[in-house]
Structure 1
Amino acid sequence: MSRAKNPKYESMSLEELKANMEKSRQELEVAIHNKNLLEQRKKLVERRERSHRLIVKGAEFEKAFPLSRDLEQEDVQNIMNQLQNSSYNKSIVRQTYISASQKDRQQIAEAVKKTEKGDDS
Protein backbone atom coordinates (compact mmCIF):
# COMPACT_ATOMS: atom_id res chain seq x y z
CA MET A 1 0.00 0.00 0.00
CA SER A 2 1.60 3.26 -1.07
CA ARG A 3 0.93 6.66 0.37
CA ALA A 4 -0.06 9.60 -1.78
CA LYS A 5 2.72 12.17 -1.98
CA ASN A 6 2.05 15.51 -0.41
CA PRO A 7 3.24 18.30 -2.74
CA LYS A 8 3.79 20.55 0.25
CA TYR A 9 6.58 18.30 1.52
CA GLU A 10 8.03 17.37 -1.88
CA SER A 11 9.38 20.87 -2.41
CA MET A 12 11.05 21.01 1.04
CA SER A 13 14.70 20.27 1.60
CA LEU A 14 15.88 17.61 4.02
CA GLU A 15 16.81 20.29 6.57
CA GLU A 16 13.36 21.88 6.30
CA LEU A 17 11.72 18.50 6.76
CA LYS A 18 13.85 17.78 9.83
CA ALA A 19 13.05 21.21 11.28
CA ASN A 20 9.36 20.64 10.58
CA MET A 21 9.54 17.22 12.24
CA GLU A 22 11.31 18.70 15.29
CA LYS A 23 8.70 21.45 15.56
CA SER A 24 5.92 18.86 15.38
CA ARG A 25 7.64 16.75 18.03
CA GLN A 26 7.89 19.76 20.36
CA GLU A 27 4.23 20.63 19.76
CA LEU A 28 3.32 17.03 20.58
CA GLU A 29 5.34 17.17 23.81
CA VAL A 30 3.60 20.42 24.81
CA ALA A 31 0.19 18.92 24.03
CA ILE A 32 0.99 15.82 26.12
CA HIS A 33 2.21 18.02 28.98
CA ASN A 34 -0.98 20.14 28.83
CA LYS A 35 -3.10 16.99 28.77
CA ASN A 36 -1.32 15.70 31.88
CA LEU A 37 -1.85 19.04 33.65
CA LEU A 38 -5.55 18.99 32.80
CA GLU A 39 -5.88 15.42 34.08
CA GLN A 40 -4.18 16.42 37.35
CA ARG A 41 -6.51 19.40 37.73
CA LYS A 42 -9.53 17.21 37.03
CA LYS A 43 -8.43 14.73 39.72
CA LEU A 44 -7.89 17.59 42.18
CA VAL A 45 -11.34 19.04 41.49
CA GLU A 46 -12.95 15.61 41.83
CA ARG A 47 -11.10 14.99 45.12
CA ARG A 48 -12.19 18.40 46.48
CA GLU A 49 -15.79 17.77 45.42
CA ARG A 50 -15.76 14.36 47.11
CA SER A 51 -14.24 15.79 50.30
CA HIS A 52 -16.83 18.56 50.36
CA ARG A 53 -19.66 16.08 49.76
CA LEU A 54 -18.44 13.80 52.58
CA ILE A 55 -18.09 16.72 55.00
CA VAL A 56 -21.57 18.04 54.19
CA LYS A 57 -23.18 14.61 54.50
CA GLY A 58 -21.34 13.94 57.75
CA ALA A 59 -22.54 17.28 59.09
CA GLU A 60 -26.11 16.40 58.12
CA PHE A 61 -25.79 13.06 59.93
CA GLU A 62 -24.45 14.82 63.02
CA LYS A 63 -27.25 17.37 62.79
CA ALA A 64 -29.87 14.61 62.65
CA PHE A 65 -28.18 12.60 65.40
CA PRO A 66 -26.44 15.10 67.72
CA LEU A 67 -25.33 12.41 70.18
CA SER A 68 -23.31 10.77 67.39
CA ARG A 69 -20.73 13.54 67.91
CA ASP A 70 -19.49 11.75 71.05
CA LEU A 71 -19.37 8.26 69.52
CA GLU A 72 -16.23 6.48 68.40
CA GLN A 73 -15.75 5.79 64.70
CA GLU A 74 -16.43 2.08 65.21
CA ASP A 75 -19.77 2.86 66.90
CA VAL A 76 -20.79 5.16 64.03
CA GLN A 77 -19.88 2.42 61.55
CA ASN A 78 -22.06 -0.06 63.48
CA ILE A 79 -24.98 2.38 63.40
CA MET A 80 -24.53 2.94 59.68
CA ASN A 81 -24.46 -0.83 59.08
CA GLN A 82 -27.72 -1.19 61.02
CA LEU A 83 -29.29 1.66 59.05
CA GLN A 84 -28.05 0.15 55.80
CA ASN A 85 -29.56 -3.26 56.57
CA SER A 86 -33.03 -1.85 57.22
CA SER A 87 -35.34 -2.38 54.25
CA TYR A 88 -37.34 0.68 55.33
CA ASN A 89 -34.23 2.88 55.07
CA LYS A 90 -33.28 1.34 51.72
CA SER A 91 -36.75 2.12 50.46
CA ILE A 92 -36.53 5.77 51.59
CA VAL A 93 -33.12 6.23 49.95
CA ARG A 94 -34.32 4.56 46.73
CA GLN A 95 -37.45 6.74 46.57
CA THR A 96 -35.44 9.89 47.24
CA TYR A 97 -32.93 8.92 44.55
CA ILE A 98 -35.69 8.25 42.00
CA SER A 99 -37.38 11.54 42.85
CA ALA A 100 -34.11 13.47 42.48
CA SER A 101 -33.36 11.73 39.16
CA GLN A 102 -36.80 12.62 37.81
CA LYS A 103 -36.33 16.23 38.92
CA ASP A 104 -32.93 16.36 37.16
CA ARG A 105 -34.42 14.93 33.96
CA GLN A 106 -37.27 17.44 34.12
CA GLN A 107 -34.83 20.34 34.55
CA ILE A 108 -32.79 19.09 31.59
CA ALA A 109 -35.93 18.78 29.45
CA GLU A 110 -36.97 22.33 30.38
CA ALA A 111 -33.50 23.66 29.54
CA VAL A 112 -33.62 21.90 26.17
CA LYS A 113 -37.04 23.40 25.43
CA LYS A 114 -35.78 26.89 26.33
CA THR A 115 -32.77 26.39 24.08
CA GLU A 116 -34.94 25.19 21.21
CA LYS A 117 -37.16 28.25 21.60
CA GLY A 118 -34.11 30.50 21.74
CA ASP A 119 -34.92 31.67 25.27
CA ASP A 120 -31.65 32.18 27.18
CA SER A 121 -33.24 33.44 30.38
Structure 2
Amino acid sequence: MKIGLTLQCSGLISAAKLRRLKRGAVKVLAAVLVPLCLASCVVEPEHPIVVHAAPPPPRVEVVPVARPGYVWVGGHWRWVQGAYVWEPGHWEMVRVGYHWVPGHWAARGSGWVWVEGHWAP
Protein backbone atom coordinates (compact mmCIF):
# COMPACT_ATOMS: atom_id res chain seq x y z
CA MET A 1 0.00 0.00 0.00
CA LYS A 2 1.77 3.11 -1.24
CA ILE A 3 0.07 5.51 1.19
CA GLY A 4 0.88 3.21 4.12
CA LEU A 5 4.53 3.03 3.12
CA THR A 6 4.72 6.79 2.70
CA LEU A 7 3.15 7.40 6.10
CA GLN A 8 5.32 4.77 7.78
CA CYS A 9 8.56 5.90 6.14
CA SER A 10 7.94 9.54 7.01
CA GLY A 11 7.42 8.60 10.66
CA LEU A 12 3.85 9.89 10.73
CA ILE A 13 2.38 6.51 11.68
CA SER A 14 3.74 3.44 13.44
CA ALA A 15 3.77 0.00 11.80
CA ALA A 16 1.28 -1.28 14.42
CA LYS A 17 -1.12 1.57 13.73
CA LEU A 18 -0.81 0.95 9.99
CA ARG A 19 -1.71 -2.74 10.48
CA ARG A 20 -4.79 -1.75 12.50
CA LEU A 21 -5.85 0.69 9.77
CA LYS A 22 -5.50 -2.01 7.11
CA ARG A 23 -7.55 -4.50 9.19
CA GLY A 24 -10.22 -1.83 9.64
CA ALA A 25 -10.30 -1.14 5.92
CA VAL A 26 -10.73 -4.85 5.17
CA LYS A 27 -13.63 -5.06 7.65
CA VAL A 28 -15.33 -2.05 6.09
CA LEU A 29 -14.94 -3.49 2.58
CA ALA A 30 -16.34 -6.84 3.74
CA ALA A 31 -19.27 -5.12 5.46
CA VAL A 32 -20.12 -3.31 2.22
CA LEU A 33 -19.37 -5.98 -0.40
CA VAL A 34 -20.94 -9.07 1.21
CA PRO A 35 -24.47 -7.57 1.42
CA LEU A 36 -24.16 -6.26 -2.16
CA CYS A 37 -23.25 -9.73 -3.42
CA LEU A 38 -26.09 -11.35 -1.49
CA ALA A 39 -28.59 -8.76 -2.71
CA SER A 40 -28.32 -10.15 -6.23
CA CYS A 41 -29.08 -13.73 -5.13
CA VAL A 42 -32.50 -15.27 -5.67
CA VAL A 43 -33.31 -17.30 -2.61
CA GLU A 44 -36.30 -19.58 -2.63
CA PRO A 45 -37.56 -20.94 0.67
CA GLU A 46 -36.36 -24.45 1.43
CA HIS A 47 -39.95 -25.53 2.09
CA PRO A 48 -42.30 -23.16 0.29
CA ILE A 49 -45.81 -22.76 1.66
CA VAL A 50 -48.23 -24.85 -0.36
CA VAL A 51 -51.69 -23.29 -0.57
CA HIS A 52 -54.50 -25.73 -1.34
CA ALA A 53 -56.84 -23.06 -2.75
CA ALA A 54 -56.12 -21.69 -6.21
CA PRO A 55 -55.31 -17.97 -6.27
CA PRO A 56 -58.02 -15.61 -7.50
CA PRO A 57 -57.57 -14.12 -10.96
CA PRO A 58 -55.19 -11.14 -11.01
CA ARG A 59 -56.79 -7.75 -10.55
CA VAL A 60 -56.71 -5.33 -13.45
CA GLU A 61 -54.35 -2.52 -12.50
CA VAL A 62 -54.03 0.82 -14.20
CA VAL A 63 -50.32 0.98 -14.95
CA PRO A 64 -49.00 4.48 -14.31
CA VAL A 65 -47.14 6.43 -17.00
CA ALA A 66 -43.64 4.99 -17.50
CA ARG A 67 -40.87 6.43 -15.33
CA PRO A 68 -37.39 6.59 -16.87
CA GLY A 69 -35.01 4.24 -15.07
CA TYR A 70 -37.81 2.19 -13.47
CA VAL A 71 -39.86 -0.88 -14.35
CA TRP A 72 -43.43 -1.49 -13.20
CA VAL A 73 -43.87 -4.66 -11.16
CA GLY A 74 -47.52 -5.66 -11.34
CA GLY A 75 -49.55 -6.49 -8.27
CA HIS A 76 -50.21 -10.06 -7.14
CA TRP A 77 -52.05 -12.11 -4.58
CA ARG A 78 -50.14 -13.00 -1.39
CA TRP A 79 -51.15 -15.74 1.04
CA VAL A 80 -51.44 -14.20 4.51
CA GLN A 81 -52.81 -16.03 7.55
CA GLY A 82 -55.03 -18.37 5.57
CA ALA A 83 -56.36 -15.92 2.98
CA TYR A 84 -55.31 -14.29 -0.26
CA VAL A 85 -54.50 -10.57 0.08
CA TRP A 86 -53.86 -8.26 -2.89
CA GLU A 87 -50.38 -6.69 -3.02
CA PRO A 88 -50.55 -3.65 -5.34
CA GLY A 89 -47.98 -3.07 -8.06
CA HIS A 90 -44.98 -0.81 -7.55
CA TRP A 91 -41.95 0.65 -9.32
CA GLU A 92 -38.53 -1.03 -9.16
CA MET A 93 -35.33 0.72 -10.18
CA VAL A 94 -33.92 -0.80 -13.38
CA ARG A 95 -30.78 -2.89 -13.02
CA VAL A 96 -28.56 -2.39 -16.05
CA GLY A 97 -27.97 -5.65 -17.92
CA TYR A 98 -30.97 -7.39 -16.27
CA HIS A 99 -34.68 -7.76 -16.94
CA TRP A 100 -37.51 -8.29 -14.46
CA VAL A 101 -39.05 -11.77 -14.34
CA PRO A 102 -42.49 -11.41 -12.73
CA GLY A 103 -43.50 -13.53 -9.78
CA HIS A 104 -46.30 -16.03 -10.28
CA TRP A 105 -48.33 -18.75 -8.62
CA ALA A 106 -47.30 -22.22 -9.79
CA ALA A 107 -49.26 -25.46 -9.43
CA ARG A 108 -47.28 -27.85 -7.26
CA GLY A 109 -48.76 -31.26 -6.44
CA SER A 110 -52.22 -30.71 -5.03
CA GLY A 111 -51.65 -27.02 -4.28
CA TRP A 112 -50.07 -23.74 -5.31
CA VAL A 113 -46.76 -22.06 -4.40
CA TRP A 114 -45.64 -18.48 -4.94
CA VAL A 115 -42.51 -18.08 -7.09
CA GLU A 116 -40.93 -14.69 -6.31
CA GLY A 117 -40.23 -12.22 -9.08
CA HIS A 118 -36.53 -11.51 -9.65
CA TRP A 119 -33.93 -9.84 -11.85
CA ALA A 120 -32.32 -12.08 -14.48
CA PRO A 121 -29.43 -11.39 -16.90
- Higher RCO (Cα < 8 Å, 6 or more apart): 2
- TM-score, normalised to structure 1's length? 0.30
Structure that is richer in helix per residue? 1
Structure that is richer in strand per residue? 2
